[in-house]
Amino acid sequence: MTYDPNNVFAKILRGEIPCKKVYEDDYALAFHDINPQAPVHVLVIPKGEYVNMDDFTAHAPADLITGFFRAVGEVARQLELVEPGYRILANAGSHAGQEVPHLHIHIFGGRPLGPMLSR
Ligand code: 5GP
């Protein structure tokens, strides 16, 4: 699995295309999804070249893994989603319908989210 440095989230990380940023630290960048599926729909991406969860958990250094997941929790807190709750999701590979080949965790919230899978 080879990382494509021209994927859209790599371009966002490099500042080549804009995003509606909600959070940034040394390990992660979070921004609003361009096509929101819930009242709150934010994407959190690691600052590193990892295709998906498989690549990230197999190859990323421990400080990046820790920092990235801390950032996901921090974003949810800053968006005031802890109460009444939120959902995180990461698509990996074709069965999951992953579109962008840079690891991203979706954070959904702002309304009751219904069943875990649509079908
Ligand atoms: P995936 O299906 O790979 O898990 O999700 C990719 C997500 O990226 C989709 O929800 C899609 O709306 C979002 N997306 C695709 N291109 C862009 C973009 O240029 N900017 C932002 N903010 N989101 C994008």
Query: Is residue 33 within 6 Å of ligand 1 at its C-beta?
Result: yes
Tell me the sheet residues that pair with 109.
40, 86
Q: Topology of domain 8-109, per CATH?
A: HIT family, subunit A (3.30.428)
Of the listed 32, 59, 102, 104, which one is catalytic? 104
pLDDT digits (tens, 9 = 90+) for 38-64: 999 999 999 999 999 999 999 999 999
Q: Is the pLDDT of residue 109 over 80?
A: yes
Residues in Cβ contact with 12 at an 8 Å cutoff, skipping those fewer than 6 apart: 18, 19, 29, 31, 45
Residue nearest to atom 24 of ligand 1 (CA): 34
Coil, strand or helix: which one is 10? helix
Query: Is residue 7 within 6 Å of ligand 1 at its C-beta?
Result: no
Q: Is 104 a catalytic residue?
A: yes
Count of positions (residues) in the chain: 119
Q: Two tokens at 34?
A: 């361009």
The pLDDT assigned to 118 comes to 75
For the CA of 104, the closest atom of ligand 1 is 4
